[in-house]
Amino acid sequence: MSGLLQEMSNRALRLGVPFSAHLDLTYRCNEKCVHCYLDHHDHGEMTTVEIKRLLEEMAEAGVFFLTFSGGEIFLRKDLFEILDYARELSFCIKLKTNAVLIREEQAARIRDLGVASVQISIYSHRPDVHDAITKLPGSLQRSIQAIRFLKAQGLKVIMANVLMTSNMSDYGGVRDLAAQLGAEYTLDPTITPMMDGSRATVGLNAGGSSLHSLFRDETLVHDAEQFCAPPPPVTEDSMDALPCSAGHTACYVSPYGEFYPCVQFPLSCGNVRQQPFLDIWRNSPQLKEVRSIRLRNLTGCSQCAHGATCTRCPGLAFMEGNMRGPSTADCEKSYARTGIPSANLLAKKENPAPSLVQIQVVPEIAGTRLSGLPAPA
């Protein structure tokens, strides 16, 4: 983050302003990715009028960065009407899409809107692997074609590479493909449980040996912690540090108006169809609890040697049953970085139980969870 953006973010935190927001316009999608955590049926998406009203409320609240995602946003027939209105309200817009439906005309309209970036998920440089994950034949070719259209318009394109068992060895090829296309590249070896609590997808997580190899890849890792080296000591500053921006300067709203701290933190804090956005942001009891979380009062984590560098996600911890408890996913990442198990992993070894979660997908608003590797933006 640049110095100016960091200063703006710090100021937003001091003033209690939602600096960035993530809005999913739909959960419908033309791809059916094997690892997706969403229910793709439409259970009553917000209308164009409702979304425009929400955008007005977000602008009034001080939102600057606004990410539109899904599902697949290009399945909304009113997408460009929504984007036009968002630009009128002076948001800095980012898009997340599989880009399958983007042609030259759509790329030119995105350019004319002054969109800051377009993030596109690419799972492999090999069509058979990518298309097997998306369950849409020809999807890699169509996404790559869209990247070329977008780059021809001078747009910033980010290729987001989520790793799982079936494509764990392909990140080098995807990174090379991004370089060839002039796109930026981000990597995240994390798979999330379903938003409804189902753990059907977590079996796709990469195993411990794969994580260890990934963290030891010198072309990717630039981290203070070294493999098989003890983590740095926990300080007073780290005991009081915020775990991430979720609920502090960032938030997420679903296609049905549900307000959450983050897309990967399914703690409902209200609904914008029933309450104004700013009222939820300022007064939600759930958000106030999220904002109270610090390392020093976390169950177990406050005594853990990894406390100063752990990328613990409160949303992951919440999905394991306690937002103030440890996140096994992040414990495993700390172990992969250092070769030293956390207190939580040691306790699980002494009292084995079925694995709850290993690693989880992205999220932009909650911040980078895989320290040392670039996260999808």
CA dihedral 205, 187, 32, 131 (to 10 degrees): -100
pLDDT at residue number 74: 98
CA dihedral 268, 66, 52, 69 (to 10 degrees): -70
Pairing of β 250-253 and β 259-260: antiparallel
pLDDT at residue number 204: 77
> For 280-300, what is the mean pLDDT?
89
- pLDDT winner (highest mean) among 76-80, 326-330, 366-370, 372-376: 76-80
Separation CA 92–CA 277 (nearest Å):
18
pLDDT at residue number 334: 79
DSSP letter assigned to residue 220? T
pLDDT at 223 over 60: no
Separation CA 328–CA 358 (nearest Å):
6
pLDDT at residue number 357: 35
| C-beta of residue 195 within 8 angstroms of C-beta of residue 234 | no
pLDDT at residue number 349: 72
pLDDT at residue number 288: 95
pLDDT at residue number 351: 66
Least confident of 12-21, 112-121, 232-241, 347-356: 347-356
More confidently predicted of 277 and 311: 277
Q: Which residues pair with 259 in a beta bridge?
A: 253
Tell me the pLDDT tens digit for each residue of 187-206: 887 777 777 767 777 777 77
At 220, is the pLDDT very low, low, confident or very high (cuts 50, 70, 90)? confident
